[in-house]
């Protein structure tokens, strides 16, 4: 895995963690969570996305 891809994996994992926190606190809905996660997947193109779910 390249340095860039590793960086993208880390950024995606951080974004996912923040999203989960917002969902658990009731700040966003599950539909909003899914929508933003799809955007993040396109933005960071994580290769290990299945592992994070």
Total-model pTM:
0.80
Give the pLDDT confidence score for residue 51 in this predicted structure.
Answer: 61
Tell which residue, 14, 7, 20, 15, has the closest CA to residue 40: 15
What are the sequence ranges of the domains in the chain?
3-52
pLDDT digits (tens, 9 = 90+) for 1-53: 789 888 999 999 999 999 999 999 999 999 999 999 999 999 998 876 666 65
| Biggest CA pair distance of the chain | 36
Contact 11, 19 (CB under 8 A): no
Give the pLDDT confidence score for residue 46 in this predicted structure.
Answer: 80
Give the pLDDT confidence score for residue 35 in this predicted structure.
Answer: 98
């Amino acid at each position: 895995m390249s340095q860039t891809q590793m960086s993208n994996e880390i950024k995606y994992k951080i974004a996912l963690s923040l999203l989960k926190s917002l969902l658990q606190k009731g700040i966003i809905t599950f539909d909003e969570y899914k929508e933003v996660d799809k955007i993040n997947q396109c933005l960071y193109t994580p290769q290990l996305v299945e592992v994070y779910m």
